[in-house]
Chain A
Amino acid sequence: MEQNASYLPILIQAAIAIGFVGLVLVLTHILGPRRYSKKKVENFECGIESEGNARFPVSVKYFLTAILFVLIDVEVIFFYPYAVNFREMGVQGFLAVVMFVAFFLVGFIYIWKKGALEWEK
C-alpha cells in the first residue's frame, strides 16, 4: 500500500489531464463555425486532385525498424534492473553483463551486415 499510494497523485493528474483534453475538444467543436463545402472535405494534397486514399502499402523498411526496435528495446530493458543493483553485484555481475552485451553486439553486427540499417538503396 505504501508503494501504491505514491501513484495516487499521478492518477489525479491523469484525471485532470483527461478532463482538460475532453473539455477543450468539446469547446472548440461548439465555438467554431461550420460551413460545408464539397471541395473542402476532400483531402488536401497541395491543391492537386487527390487520387485514391492513403490505405496503401508502405516501404517495408519502416516495419523492419519497428521489429528491430522491439528486439533491441527488450534487451535494453534488461539492463535497467542490473543498473539499479550494479554496485552490489560487483565484478562478477559486470562480467556477466559484458557477456550479455557481446551477444547483443553479435546480433547488432548481423543486422548491420545484412543491410537492415541501410536506407539509401
Chain B
Amino acid sequence: MNVDTTYLIIKSLMVLTIFGITLLIATYLTYFERKVAAFLQDRLGPDRAGPFGILQPLADAGKMFFKEDFIPQNSAKSLFILGPGIAMFTALLTGSIIPWGPQITLFGETFDFQIADINVGILFIVGVVSIGVYGIMIGGWASNNKYSLFGAIRASSQMISYELAMGLSIIAIVMMSGSLSLKDIVAQQHGMNWNVFYQPLGFIIFLISALAECNRAPFDLAECESELIGGYHTEYSSMKLGFFLFAEYINMFISCAIISSLYFGGYNYPFMDMVTDPTVQGLIGTAVLFGKIFFFIFLFMWIRWTLPRFRYDQLMHLGWKMLIPLALANMLATGAVILFNQ
C-alpha cells in the first residue's frame, strides 16, 4: 500500500460518503422506528410532513437545532457539553472498518469498499464501543440530577456486563477464521458458507449482547421513563439531546452491520459465482449487505415494540449467570470440534 495524494483523496471521499450515508440512515431510522411502532400497534404513525410523512425526520432535526441550548445551573458545564460529543464521536467512528462490499474495479482502479482494513478490526470496534460508555456516564454525572445519575450508572454497568459475553462470543468466530480483520472474516463466508450455521449459539449470545450494548428495549433500563424520567439525558435539550438519540440509532445501524458481517456473510449471497462480472457482483453484494442490515434493524424494532422491559436484577442475572458461562462453553466446544475435525 503506497500512501500518495490520490490514495488520500479517494479515502477521504469514501469517508465522506459513508459518513453521509450513516447520518442519513440514522435520521431515517427514527422515521422507520415510528412507522414500525405504528404498524405493530395498528395505527398510522407520522403522516403529516410530506407524502407518508417522509419529511418528518428533517422537520425533527430542524426543530432540534432551533431549540434552546439549555445548561442546568448545578451541572459541571464543560463535561455536560463533552458527554453527548463523545457519544456521537464514538458512534461515528465505528463505521470505518466495516467492509461494505467486495473489492471492485472501476475505471482501471481497484477499490476496497471499506475505509480501513486494519488487522485488529474487531478489537477496534470493541474498544471504540467501550469509549461510548464514557459519553453516557459523563453526560449523566455532569447533569447533577439524581435520575440522570442513576440512568448513567445503570447504563454503564449494563454495557460493561454484556461486553464480556459479547467478547467471548466473538472469540469463537475468530477461532474459526484465524483472523481479527473483518475483511478476512467476511471473505471466508463466500457464497452460503455463513458463520451462523456453525455458530448458532454464538449468534444468539451476540444478538442479545448487541441489544444490551445499544440500550435497546428490553434492555433500555438506562432510560426507562416509568422510573427515571428520561434517564441519562433528562437534562439535555436541543442538538445535545439529538446527539444522544442519534448516537443510539447509529450504534444500532453499526451493530446490525457487524451482526451481518460476522454471522450472516456480509456482502456474500448464495449463487454469487453465477454473476460473472465482478463489478456487478460487488454492487449486488453491497445491496445484499444493506438488505441484511435492514432486516436486523427491523428485528431490533420488532423486539422493542413486542417485549416488556427487564427488571435490573433479571438483566444482571441474564448477563453474568447465563450468557458468560454459555459463551465460555460455546468457545470451548468450537475449539474441540475444530480440532477433532482437523
Residues of A at under 8 Å CB distance from B?
Answer: 2-3, 5-10, 12-14, 16-18, 20-22, 24-25, 27-29, 31-35, 40-46, 50, 53-56, 58, 62, 65-66, 69, 72-73, 76-77, 79-80, 83-87, 90-91, 94, 97-98, 101, 104-105, 108, 112, 117-120
What 0/1 readout, one digit per residue, does chain B (218-244) give for beta carbons within 8 Å of chain A?
000000000001000011001110110
Q: Are A28 and B69 in touch, CB under 8 angstroms?
A: yes
B115 touching A44, Cβ below 8 Å: no
> Does the CB pair A28–B239 fall under 8 Å?
yes
B313 touches A119 (CB 8 A): yes
Is A112 within 8 A of B321, CB to CB? yes
B-to-A contact residues, CB < 8 Å: 1, 3, 8, 11-12, 14-16, 19, 64-70, 72-74, 81, 84-85, 88-89, 92-93, 95-97, 115-119, 123-124, 141, 143-150, 153, 156-157, 160-161, 163-164, 167-168, 171-172, 174-175, 178-180, 229, 234-235, 238-240, 242-243, 312-313, 316-317, 320-321, 324-325, 328, 331-332, 335-336, 338-339, 342
Q: Which residues of the partner chain B approach A46 to less than 8 Å between Cβ atoms?
A: 229
Chain A residue at smallest Cβ distance from B10: A9
B118 to chain A: which residues have CB within 8 Å? 6-7, 10
17 pairs, CB–CB < 8 Å, chain A vs chain B: A13-B15, A13-B92, A13-B115, A24-B239, A25-B84, A25-B240, A43-B235, A44-B234, A54-B148, A73-B163, A80-B174, A86-B335, A90-B342, A94-B335, A105-B328, A119-B313, A119-B317
Contact yes or no, B153 A117, CB < 8 A: no
Chain B residues with CB below 8 A from A72, complex form: 164, 324
Residue A53 contacts which of B74, B96, B153 (CB distance < 8 angstroms)?
Answer: B74
The distance from the CB of B221 to the nearest CB of chain A, in whole angstroms, is 12
Query: Counting chain A CB atoms within 10 Å of each CB, which of B92, B180, B325 scores highest?
Result: B92
> Are B123 and A80 in contact, CB atoms less than 8 angstroms apart?
yes
Q: Is the pair B321, A117 in contact by a Cβ cutoff of 8 Å?
A: yes
A residues in contact with B74, CB < 8 Å: 42-43, 53
- Tell me the complex Cα distance, A110–B164, Å: 18
B167–A73 CB distance below 8 A: yes
**A33 x B157 contact (CB < 8 A):** no
- Which of A17, A20, A27, A85 has most chain B Cβ within 10 Å? A17
With A27-B239, A87-B178 as given contacts, are A20 and B92 in contact (CB-CB < 8 Å)?
A: yes
- The answer, among A8, A13, A43, for a CB contact under 8 Å with B72, is A43
A32 and B243: CB pair below 8 A?
no
CB distance from A67 to the nearest CB of B (A): 10
